Structure 1
C-alpha cells in the first residue's frame, strides 16, 4: 500500500475511534489497531498524534463548509435559499452526530494544548470566512444589502448553528431545534435592506 493510502486509512481509523470512544481514547496504539497496521507505519505517515488530529479537524471543517456552499448555490429567492441551506445543515447534524461531537472535542483539545491553540482559531476563522462569503454572495445575487455588517452577521449565524448543534447533542430535541432554525431564517430576512445605488456623476 502506498504511503498516501496508508495515511488515508489511518485518518479514517482515527475518526472511527473518536466517534466511537472519544478523542481522549484515540491514542496512537488504538488508531493503528483500528487500522490493523503496525505501530511503525503510524510514525512513517505522521510525525505525531497531534499532526493526525490536526488533519482530521481540518478535513471536517472543510467538508462542512463545502456542504453549506453547495446547498446555498441552488435556485430560488433569498428566503428559500436560506431555509434550504439551514435545513440541509441540520440534516447533516442528525445524520452524523458523532462527527459533530468529535469536532467539539477536538476544538477543546486544541485550546488545551500549548502551542496547538492556533488550530482551533483557524477552524473557526474558516467557518466565519465561509459564512461571510455566502452572505456576501447572497446579497449580490438578490441585489440587496444587509443592514448589519456582514462580519458581525457571519459571527451571529455561526454562533446560532454551533449553539443549536451542541444543545441537540445533549437533549436530541429535533422539533425545537428545527423551530430555532426557522426563527433564524425569518430573523435573517428582517435584516435585508434595499440596495442603495449611488448616483453617478457624468
Structure 2
C-alpha cells in the first residue's frame, strides 16, 4: 500500500475510533489497531498523533464546506435556495451525528492544547468565510442586498447552526430542530431588501466655448 493510501486509511480509522469511543481514547495504538497496521507505519505517515487529529478536523471542515456549497447552488428564488440549503445541511447532521460530535470534541481539544489553538480558529474562520461567500452569491443572484453587514450575518448564521446542531446532539428532538431551522430561514429572508440603486452620476457641464 502506498504511503498516501496508508495515510487515508489511518485518517478513516481515527475517525471511526473517535466516533465510537471519543477523542480521548483515540490513542495512536488504538488507531493503528483499528487500521490493522503495525505501529511503525503510523510514525512513517505522521509525525505525531496531533498531526493526524489536525488532518481529521481539516477533512471534516472541508467536507462540510463542500456540502454547503453544493446545496446552495441551483435554480430558484432566494427563499427556496435558503430552505433547500438549510434542509440539506440538517440532513447531514441527522445522517452523521457521530462525525458532528467528533468535530466539537476536536475543536475543544485544539483549544486546550498549547500550540493548537489556531487550528480551531482557522476551522471557524473557514466556516464564516464560506457563509460570507454564499450570502454574497445569493444576494447577487436575487438582485438584493442584506440589511446587515455580510460578515455579521455570516457569524450569526454559523452560530445558529452550531447551536441547533449541539442541542440536537443532546436531545435528538428533530421536530423542534427543524422548526428552529424554518424560523432561521424566515428571519434570514426578512433581512433581504431590494438593492439600492446607485445614484446617477451628474452629467458633465459643458465648458463655454472660447470667444471668437
TM bin, normalised by shorter chain, reads over 0.9
What residue number does 1:51 align with?
51
Separation (CA, whole Å) in 1 of partners of 2:194 and 2:75: 21
- 1:160-171 map, 5 Å: 160-171=160-171
Separation (CA, whole Å) in 1 of partners of 2:181 and 2:92: 14
The structural deviation recorded for 1:194 is 1.1
The structural deviation recorded for 1:193 is 1.1
What residue number does 1:154 align with?
154
What residue number does 1:103 align with?
103
Separation (CA, whole Å) in 1 of partners of 2:199 and 2:91: 45
The structural deviation recorded for 1:199 is 2.7
What residue number does 2:143 align with?
143
Gaps in structure 2 of 5+ consecutive residues:
204-212
Separation (CA, whole Å) in 1 of partners of 2:74 and 2:93: 20
- 1:1-202 map, 5 Å: 1-201=1-201, 202=203
The structural deviation recorded for 1:35 is 0.3
Separation (CA, whole Å) in 2 of partners of 1:40 and 1:195: 60
Separation (CA, whole Å) in 1 of partners of 2:37 and 2:200: 68
Gaps in structure 1 of 5+ consecutive residues:
none
The structural deviation recorded for 1:75 is 1.0
The secondary structure found in structure 2 opposite 1:193 is strand
- Normalising by structure 1, what TM-score? 0.99
- In the alignment of these two chains, the number of paired residues is 202
Q: What's the CA shift string for 1:114-153, capped at 9, x where partnerless?
A: 0100000000000000000000000001000000110000
**Cα RMSD for the two superposed structures:** 0.6
